[in-house]
């Protein structure tokens, strides 16, 4: 695993504990309401202490979350990291001078050590007399000893570390708006690689310190903001105009520049994306719509984001969030902000600039944003994920190619054996907004806010050894449901069940691994038997059996072994279009009683031999006499 891939995994792990922060923000907001005037002051006390409790124990959450993330959700790693934090707290509290308190950075260190040790020694074998401490239990023993030594050393070096953080705070203070500009640019660029959480952890959870009225020391722009520090919120305020207005402006530009025939679907998808971004600040679905198609626009977007940070600093605007810079956090935390009302006119101005700028750029440079080309990401994923998951797994190279699959809010984060086996076209057809290869087998696939659900379904498939057959596209053209074939026999599934295609080229290839079972005399249809016992019929066009003159040429013979993508038949596309009832080419399984469940890719344009257009799960393993 190279350094970029390691950072990807670490960034994902660091992000995990922040998922507890929205609940803290809601509790603090509810606690700030005038419950005493309403006669129930206890509600304010409960909500306030509950919200503050999450921030107080945030270092412990980071320790468990980082260890859990790095160790692929292994419980012993998280338990070991938590034990390390308890040891650190006791040693620094009783042997220190009172200035050392558990910090987020310490939690991350313990979590990272516990995760690394677990991955390295989870299968370790010790001498028989102490084998009780072998395997995954070794990490608990190790962390207990390591934490004690580490905590003792920290008693001596913490003052120097604190001095370093103070110097960094002073440096950022002296840089003023320019420092915010650099932060904003770097934040947006790292977002493309999924590494922005590493940057944010320094500024949101490490930079600056504030002593609460209760005497607690909190560090970082985010905890200080929620603890009432009037100087906090500078590293978050500038993100609100971008998330709430600028990126939705891009979504509207994409809708307006879409082709008229695709505009209804584009409108549905990107109005939803704009609303999600406005409310929650989840922006990847919009950003990845133009990131790969026009990276220079993404660079401009990064610069404009940095300018927004500088502008909010110059206007002395302080605002913060627990999750992201969306309208929900804007409203929930408004009572803690300063000059936050200025974010609305700034945001409206940014939205207009982004809208007109992107409309002009898309039209001027013919940028293939969604809706301007047939392979756009337009489907509604809700309800389809269990059926799409087998095809997604196949597009990722199959179960054998997957080493690890995780997810964050908007993307799958994978480690694969060979990233060249990933079919980017198939992933795009299945709903992916982008594919990022970081090297060393580390890849990210952007699926939007359904990524976590997709990960769960893919993991279920990884854990089950299902008797499954996967089909690639037998022709280049548009895929359509079998019910839409203009022939009653096929449409009523009297021959078998499956899908159909409207070919654009005169070549038919094998969709599966198998043996040529039968070639019709006119060569317009061909039958294939798979090793699993499925019988597949490919029928070129409708009412083509009566065509004379050798318009079909088979390049295989009965009994030949064929593999997916191998050429089977060449045919005269123009002649068939003119003389046949239809070009519709069914691909059906003629013994569908062997099939337990079916999965179909979206019915769009496909390439010849493209993987993951159909997947079936068989009723049992012992099919066709094969073990």
- Structural tokens at position 241: 């105009």
441 with 415: CB under 8 angstroms? yes
Spot the catalytic one: 29, 277, 408, 472: 408
Residue 408 designated active-site: yes
Q: How many residues does the chain have?
A: 627
DSSP codes, 198-238: HHHHHHHHTS-EEE-TTS-EEESHHHHHHTT-TT--HHHHT
- CA dist., res. 377 & res. 243, Å (int): 21
Look at residue 436 and give its three-state secondary structure. strand
CA-to-CA dists, residue 230 to 18, 153, 237, 241, 615, angstroms: 22, 34, 13, 21, 57
- CA dist., res. 467 & res. 490, Å (int): 26
- CA dist., res. 342 & res. 339, Å (int): 6
Count Cα atoms within 13 angstroms, Cβ side, for 450: 19
DSSP symbol at 487: -
- CA dist., res. 620 & res. 627, Å (int): 10
- Structural tokens at position 457: 């379904």
- Structural tokens at position 234: 């500078």
- CA dist., res. 442 & res. 17, Å (int): 22
- Structural tokens at position 24: 């803290």
The set of catalytic residues is 408
């Amino acid at each position: 695993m190279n350094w970029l891939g390691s950072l990807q995994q670490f960034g994902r792990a660091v992000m995990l504990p922040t998922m507890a922060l929205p609940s803290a923000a809601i509790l603090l907001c509810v606690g700030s309401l005038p419950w005493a005037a309403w006669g129930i002051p206890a509600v304010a006390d409960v909500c306030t202490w509950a919200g503050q409790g999450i921030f107080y124990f945030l270092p412990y959450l980071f320790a468990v979350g980082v260890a859990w993330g790095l160790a692929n959700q292994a419980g012993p790693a998280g338990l070991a990291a938590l034990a390390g934090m308890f040891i650190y707290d006791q040693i620094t509290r009783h042997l220190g001078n009172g200035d050392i308190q558990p910090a987020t950075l310490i939690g991350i260190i313990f979590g990272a050590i516990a995760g690394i040790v677990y991955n390295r020694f989870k299968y370790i074998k010790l001498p028989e007399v102490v084998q009780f401490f072998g395997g995954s239990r070794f990490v608990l023993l190790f962390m207990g000893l390591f934490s004690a030594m580490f905590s003792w050393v920290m008693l001596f070096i913490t003052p120097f570390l604190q001095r370093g953080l103070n110097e960094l705070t002073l440096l950022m203070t002296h840089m003023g708006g320019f420092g915010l500009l650099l932060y904003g640019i770097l934040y947006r660029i790292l977002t493309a690689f999924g590494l922005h959480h590493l940057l944010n952890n320094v500024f949101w959870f490490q930079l600056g310190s504030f002593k609460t009225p209760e005497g607690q020391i909190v560090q970082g722009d985010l905890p200080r903001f929620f603890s009432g520090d009037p100087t906090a919120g500078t590293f978050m305020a500038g993100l609100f105009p971008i998330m709430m207005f600028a990126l939705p402006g891009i979504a509207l530009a994409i809708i307006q520049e879409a082709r008229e025939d695709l505009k209804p679907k584009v409108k549905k998808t990107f109005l939803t994306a704009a609303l999600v971004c406005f409310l929650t600040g989840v922006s990847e679905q919009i950003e990845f719509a133009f990131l790969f198609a026009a990276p220079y626009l993404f660079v401009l977007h990064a610069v404009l984001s940095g300018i927004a940070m500088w502008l909010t600093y110059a206007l002395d605007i302080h605002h913060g969030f627990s999750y992201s810079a969306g309208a929900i956090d804007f409203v929930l935390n408004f009572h803690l902000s300063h000059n936050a009302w200025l974010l609305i006119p700034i945001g409206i101005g940014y939205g207009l600039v982004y809208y007109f700028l992107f409309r002009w750029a898309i039209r001027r440079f013919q940028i293939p944003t969604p809706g301007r080309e047939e392979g756009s990401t337009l489907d509604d994923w809700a309800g389809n994920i269990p059926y799409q998951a087998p095809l997604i797994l196949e597009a990722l190279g199959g179960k054998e190619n997957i080493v690890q699959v995780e997810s964050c809010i908007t993307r799958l984060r994978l480690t694969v054996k060979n990233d060249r086996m990933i079919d980017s076209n198939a992933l795009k057809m299945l709903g992916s907004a982008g594919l990022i290869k970081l090297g060393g087998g580390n890849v990210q696939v952007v699926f939007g806010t359904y990524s976590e659900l997709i990960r769960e379904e893919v993991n279920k498939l990884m854990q089950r050894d299902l008797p499954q057959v996967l089909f690639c596209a037998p022709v280049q053209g548009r895929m359509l449901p079998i019910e839409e074939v203009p022939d009653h026999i096929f449409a009523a599934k009297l021959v078998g069940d499956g899908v159909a295609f409207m070919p654009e080229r005169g070549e038919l290839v094998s969709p599966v691994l198998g043996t040529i079972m039968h070639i019709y005399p006119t060569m317009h249809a061909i039958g294939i038997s798979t090793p699993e016992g499925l019988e597949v019929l490919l029928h070129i066009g409708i009412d083509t059996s009566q065509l004379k003159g050798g318009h079909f040429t088979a390049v295989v013979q009965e009994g030949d072994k064929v593999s997916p993508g191998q050429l089977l038949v060449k045919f005269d596309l123009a002649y068939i279009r003119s003389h046949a009832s239809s070009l519709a080419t069914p691909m059906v399984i003629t013994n569908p009683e062997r099939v337990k469940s079916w999965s179909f890719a979206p019915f769009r344009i496909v390439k010849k031999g493209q993987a993951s257009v159909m997947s079936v799960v068989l009723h049992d393993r012992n099919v066709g006499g094969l073990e």
